[in-house]
Amino acid sequence: MINVRLLGGVKKAVGKPSIILEESNLSLSEILMLLRRDVKEPEVLSPHNILIAVNGVESSSLGGNDTVIESGDTVTIVTVVHGGSPKPA
C-alpha cells in the first residue's frame, strides 16, 4: 500500500487530500499517470508545476520519476507556486 499525500493545487485538482494505492513497486511516473487519469486539469501534474517527496526526501535526490515506490512509502505531491511580474520593456 502506498500513501499519496496531495497538497495545494494538486489537492484541489484531484478533489481529495490523499489517495491510498493498493499496488506497490510503482515508479513515480506510473503514479503520476494514474493520477492524471482522474484529474480535470492534468497540467497541474506536469513536472514543472509540482515537487514530489518520497518519505520526506525530494524525488530528484532519489532518481526522479524513475524512483520505485514500495509498500509503506509515503509520496507527497505539492504544487509549486510561481510568482513575479512581466519583464520590463
- Mind giving me the DSSP string for 37-59? HT-S-GGGGSGGGEEEEETTEEG
Q: Where are the domains of the chain?
A: 2-79
CATH architecture of the domain formed by 2-79: Roll (3.10)
pLDDT at 22: 95
Encode pLDDT of 23-70 as tens digits: 999 999 999 999 988 788 888 888 888 999 999 999 999 999 999 999
Handedness of CA 7, 10, 12, 16 (dihedral sign): negative
Distance CA 19, CA 87 (A): 39
- Cβ neighbour number for residue 79 with a 10 Å cutoff: 18
C-alpha angle 19/54/7, rounded to 5°? 50
